[in-house]
């Protein structure tokens, strides 16, 4: 009888394991809605969408993820600078924020005399946003009492964000009163003179007051947007977005951070990462070299002359950019790295060649 019970338990365990494996293999992943044709494509692995570069989400998690998406309103005025809003818009789209545009009216506006924009909402019918964002170009639009009053009435806003002279919208509405801020280099003196209650910084890419982030001009908005993503979704997420965008000039934390929620506090420094660097055996008698990116204080792998970032998870475990491959380093008794294993090749140890 005991043998029969053991056999039954073994059979049930194997069946359950097989069932779980089948369920995992049948799991469907989809692209977060981005109004492109890839919205209807189904995938069998949690990769990156090859069409729009968005991170794929398990279908059953899509609704849940949509519910918790941060809503960010981009206020755009006639004459707004293209890169001021275009760069951050790219960042927040990759981060799967819900981005929508607002202007004084729904009438078409023109950016820099080139780009025609049709706002999603006027300030009168715009939905409540978690984040309000303002940008430079024709900042005389921020002298409009209706616009400033709209900013003041958005009491449920969690974060305020500005690029370039978009800081004047936050200054005029009182959001920056008593805070530290920055703006476009040619407007720093004007901001300082007109708003003496603001501590204007002239030597930083962005200023983070906690709930209010202001950035210097134009391209600095990308840095500020990546920083806000790092605050809300973690440094690894911001680093992946910078990699997708090929924004290889980004220096994480290259700004003035006055808040306690500093996303770079726990970053591995170059010294702690040094133990992983070196050359390792790889597939088909090839090698992979791990090096430190001193700008990001992070690791990347060189395979066939291409750089591939890897992301620290915990202890000696890292992951690739799509979170599809888990890389775990092995150590000897002296805590020296001897090689690594990969979830893609679980039965193989890739030994370090230069111990």
pTM over 0.85: no
* Pairwise CA distance, residues 270 & 88, whole Å: 29
Regarding whether 89 and 229 lie in a shared domain, the answer is: yes
Residues 61 and 100 occupy one common structural domain? no
84 and 228 together in one domain: yes
Binned at pLDDT 50, 70 and 90, residue 6 comes out as very low
User: Are 88 and 52 found together in one domain?
Assistant: no
Residues 146 and 241 occupy one common structural domain: yes
| Per-residue confidence band for 267, with pLDDT thresholds at 50, 70 and 90 | low
- Bridge partner list, 257: 208
Torsion of CA 39, 41, 46, 48, to 10 degrees: -60
d(CA 29, CA 214): 36
Both structure tokens of 235: 């440094």
Tokens of residue 333, six digits = 């008794």
Task: Note the pLDDT of residue 304.
Answer: 87
> Scanning the structure block, which residue is given the tokens 């996303």?
263
Whole-number pLDDT of residue 104: 96
**Shared-domain flag, residues 175 and 53:** no
Round the average pLDDT of the chain to a whole number and report it: 86
Boundary residue ending a domain (231, 257, 283): 257
Distance CA 205, CA 4 (A): 71
Q: How is residue 236 written in tokens?
A: 């690894």
What is the mean predicted confidence (pLDDT) over 318-327? 89
Phi, psi torsion values for 142, nearest 5 degrees: -80, 0
pLDDT single digits (tens) 176-230: 999 999 999 999 999 999 999 999 999 999 999 999 999 999 999 999 999 999 9
Give the rounded percent of residues in the chain with a pLDDT score beyond 90: 66
pLDDT-derived band at 149 (thresholds 50, 70, 90) equals: very high
Indicate whether 35 pLDDT > 60: no
CATH code of residue 93: 3.40.50.880
Given 257, 279, 299, the domain boundary residue is 257
Lowest-pLDDT range of 3-12, 38-47, 172-181, 260-269: 3-12
Quote the pLDDT of residue 30.
76
pLDDT at residue 240, rounded to an integer: 93
Indicate the pLDDT class of residue 75, thresholds 50, 70 and 90: very high
User: Are residues 123 and 236 both part of a single domain?
Assistant: yes
The arithmetic mean of pLDDT across residues 260-271, rounded, is 73
Q: What is the dihedral of CA 119, 120, 124, 125, to 10 degrees?
A: 170
| pLDDT band at 253; cut points 50, 70, 90 | confident
* pLDDT over threshold 60, residue 53: no
Higher pLDDT, 17 or 76: 76
The dihedral sign for the CA sequence 46, 51, 54, 60: negative
- CATH number of the structural domain spanning residue 317: 2.40.128
pLDDT of residue 26: 72
- Examine the fold and report which residue of 13, 35, 68 is the final residue of a domain before the chain moves on: 68
Q: Which pLDDT does position 152 carry in this prediction? A: 96
Alpha carbon of 33 to those of 28, 55, 128: distances in Å?
15, 11, 20
Q: Which domain holds residue 305?
A: 270-351
For residue 55, what pLDDT band results from cuts at 50, 70 and 90? low
On whether both 61 and 85 belong to a single domain, the answer is no
Dump pLDDT digits (tens) for 38-51. 666 777 766 556 55
If you count them, how many residues does the chain have?
355
pLDDT confidence tier of residue 37, bands split at 50, 70 and 90: low
Q: What pLDDT, on a 0 to 100 scale, did the predictor assign at position 31?
A: 65
The pLDDT value recorded for residue 324 is: 85
Residue 20 has pLDDT above 60, yes or no: no
- The 10s digit of each residue's pLDDT in 79-127 is 999 999 999 999 999 999 999 999 999 999 999 999 999 999 999 999 9
Strand pairing category for 131-134 and 159-163: parallel
- Triad 2, 3, 7: Cα angle to 5°: 115
Name the region of 45 (left: φ>0; alpha: ψ -120 to 50; beta: rest). beta
């Amino acid at each position: 009888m005991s043998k029969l019970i053991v056999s039954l338990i073994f059979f049930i365990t194997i069946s359950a394991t097989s069932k779980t494996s089948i369920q995992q293999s049948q799991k469907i992943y989809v692209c977060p809605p981005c109004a492109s044709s890839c919205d209807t494509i189904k995938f069998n692995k949690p990769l990156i969408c090859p069409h729009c570069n968005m991170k794929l989400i398990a279908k059953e998690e899509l609704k849940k993820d949509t519910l918790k998406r941060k809503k960010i309103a981009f206020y755009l005025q006639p004459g707004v600078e293209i890169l001021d809003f275009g760069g951050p818009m790219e960042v927040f789209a990759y981060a799967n924020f819900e981005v929508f545009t607002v202007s004084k009216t729904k009438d078409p506006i023109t950016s820099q005399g080139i780009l025609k924009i049709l706002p999603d909402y006027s300030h009168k019918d715009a939905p409540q946003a978690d984040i309000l964002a303002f940008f430079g170009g024709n900042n005389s639009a921020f002298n409009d009492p209706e616009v400033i009053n709209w900013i003041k009435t958005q009491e449920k806003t969690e974060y305020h964000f500005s690029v370039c002279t978009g800081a004047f919208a936050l200054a005029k509405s009182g959001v920056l009163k008593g805070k530290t801020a920055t703006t476009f280099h040619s407007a720093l003196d004007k901001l300082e003179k007109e708003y003496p209650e603001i501590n204007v910084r002239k030597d930083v890419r962005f200023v983070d007051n906690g709930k209010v982030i202001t950035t210097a001009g134009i391209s600095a908005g990308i840095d500020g947007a990546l920083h806000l993503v790092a605050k809300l979704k973690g440094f690894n997420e911001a680093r992946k977005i910078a990699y997708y965008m090929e924004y290889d000039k980004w220096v994480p934390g290259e700004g003035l951070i006055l808040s306690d929620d500093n996303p770079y506090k726990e970053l591995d420094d170059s010294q702690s990462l040094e133990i992983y660097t070196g050359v390792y055996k790889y597939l088909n008698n090839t090698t992979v070299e791990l090096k430190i990116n001193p700008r990001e204080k992070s690791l990347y792998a060189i395979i066939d002359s291409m750089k591939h970032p890897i992301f620290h998870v915990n202890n000696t475990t890292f992951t690739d950019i799509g979170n599809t491959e888990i890389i775990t380093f092995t150590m000897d008794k002296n805590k020296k790295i001897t090689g690594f294993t990969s979830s893609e090749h679980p039965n193989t140890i890739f030994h370090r060649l230069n111990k």
